[in-house]
Amino acid sequence: MIEIRDLAFSYGKTPVLKSITTNLEEGRIYGLLGENGVGKTTLLTLLCGLKKVGSGTIRTDGENPFDRTPSLLEKQYYLPDEVAPVNVKAEALAKERGRFWPLYDHSKFLDIMKEFETDPSKKMNQMSAGQLKKSYISFALATGCKYLFMDEPTNGLDIPSKSQFRSAIMKYTPEDSTIVISTHQVRDLENIIDPIIILDKQDVLLNATVEAITSKLFFDYGTVVREDALYREMLPGGFLQVCPNTDGEDSKVNIEALFNAVHTHKALVKDMFKNE
């Protein structure tokens, strides 16, 4: 489990994160959402120990990630948005680097590459951007890490590859793992991320499961304008509206509409979910 308490971080005199307090539980795939510049990548690098917190604490299974202890490093992996096109065959790089993670499974790496329809014997500097990204995703999943942090993993992937990515995440990650995926491409991941974290400038506006979200908010796909709507957009033949769920109705979360509703009514939504 990852426990974040009163976390703050600044670049010089420019604050990025301020008083962030939240927990990241085992067996969850967190979607980390937010506008550009709110600190999504910064938070990921703090979680994996690449940056030191300004104040507050992060504890992963009781350890401080910035201490970079072997016991913690061997069970976490960070996949950045931009990956290096090195002059090495993908399978050779994976086998060499895999030695740092005790649960790394090279046969799993090859299986995932096959599902991604990417040749592991090809040099990575000769791959397309999509093939390169899929090679690094395959390695990340093959490490078997308990904690996996991924920054915009679907960037550069075509439509079939995005479907393959969703399938691979569900198939090849341990049940007790904690996965945090930062993304702008919410529709790419809509069916696999749960809980959803919405990060604002220096604050967490929402950290809630889909079940908790639908218990408090109703996503109405209808033709009648609702006066209690927190957010509304036109659809062909009607509207998509996000409203307080006063009647306990079931609905399907639309993450883009949720994001817009949260940002339009920050204080209201944060108070609505304060005990989640």
Mean pLDDT of the region 139-150: 97
* % residues pLDDT > 90 (the chain): 84
Question: Can you point out the beta strands (E) in the chain?
Answer: 2-11, 14-24, 28-33, 55-60, 76-79, 147-151, 178-182, 196-200, 203-208, 217-222, 231-235, 238-244
pLDDT of 201-251, one tens digit each?
778 899 999 999 999 999 999 999 999 999 999 999 899 999 999 999 999
Q: Which domains does the chain have, with CATH numbers?
A: 2-207 (3.40.50.300), 209-272 (no CATH)
- 3-state secondary structure (DSSP) of residue 111: helix
Mean pLDDT of the region 143-152: 97
**Contacts of 190 by beta carbon, 8 Å cutoff, 6+ apart:** 253, 254, 255
Q: Give the integer Cα–Cα distance in Å for 115 and 125.
A: 21
* Contact call for residues 50 and 41 (beta carbons, < 8 A): no
Please tell me the predicted confidence (pLDDT) of residue 239.
93
pLDDT of 68-81, one tens digit each?
999 999 999 999 99
Closest of 19, 10, 25, 15 to residue 180, by C-alpha? 25
Please tell me the predicted confidence (pLDDT) of residue 36.
85
Q: If you average pLDDT over every residue of the chain, what do you get?
A: 94
Please tell me the predicted confidence (pLDDT) of residue 8.
93
Q: Give the integer Cα–Cα distance in Å for 244 and 1.
A: 31
Q: Give the integer Cα–Cα distance in Å for 60 and 75.
A: 10
pLDDT of 45-100, one tens digit each?
999 999 999 999 999 999 999 999 999 999 999 999 999 999 999 999 999 999 99
Q: Which amino acid is at 145?
A: C
